[in-house]
Copies of this chain bind each other. A is one copy, B any other.
Amino acid sequence: MAKIIPTLNSTRKEKITYAAAALFRQNGYRATSMREIAEALGVEAPSLYNHISSKQEMLEAICFRVGDSFLSNFDRIEKDGSSFIKKVETIIRFHIRIMIEDYDMMYVAEHDWRYLPEPHHEEFGRMRKRYRAKFSGLLAEGMKGKKIIPLDPNVAVLTVLSAVNGVDSWHRSGKKIDAASLEENIVALLLRGLAS
């Protein structure tokens, strides 16, 4: 009955994907039914199949959009000519911003990529690994040049990447602090530590 109205910057397929991402984040991929996605769009479930080919396809679209975004951003920063510590800071800030602005998709890519069907699951796993290796390499370089505390670079990457996921909790708990302060606080903590 009710039609999914396409707009200039959002096709019908994209509208469905966004609605799916929102529900996947709230309830998880496996706990979200096609009927629920359809209901959120004011439509019956089989109608969705005029625009998408499967539930899995939506998850793929979400995960790889996020993954591509991170990889291409990293490459851009790597070549921007800024100082080492500034590069690290820019990468961290990028993570936080994506977490704030594209929360649904970012969250789903992080939590539900394990439900990707098998050629894609392994491919996404490799993407994550490649990203962490790049980041870890950058940190190792900075440690050599004494620009950074000597740590195991792999552990440092895992910890930093997990830390920015703290934005997740911020999203759900009242938001008593604005996005800019949130970003500054996280960056300060990761670069300078707790102890003074």
Contact = CB atoms under 8 A, between A and B. Distances in A.
Contact of A164 (B146, B162, B188, B196): B162
Contacts of A162: 162-166, 168-169
Contacts of A158: 166-167, 169-170
How many monomers of this protein are in the complex? 2
Classify chain A's interface size: 35 or more
Interface in A168-196: 168-170, 173, 176-177, 181-182, 185-186, 188-196
Interface stretch (A25-33, A45-53, A58-66, A69-77): A25-33
Interface of A: 27-28, 30-31, 85, 88, 111, 114-115, 129, 132, 139, 146-149, 151-152, 154-156, 158-170, 173, 176-177, 181-182, 185-186, 188-196
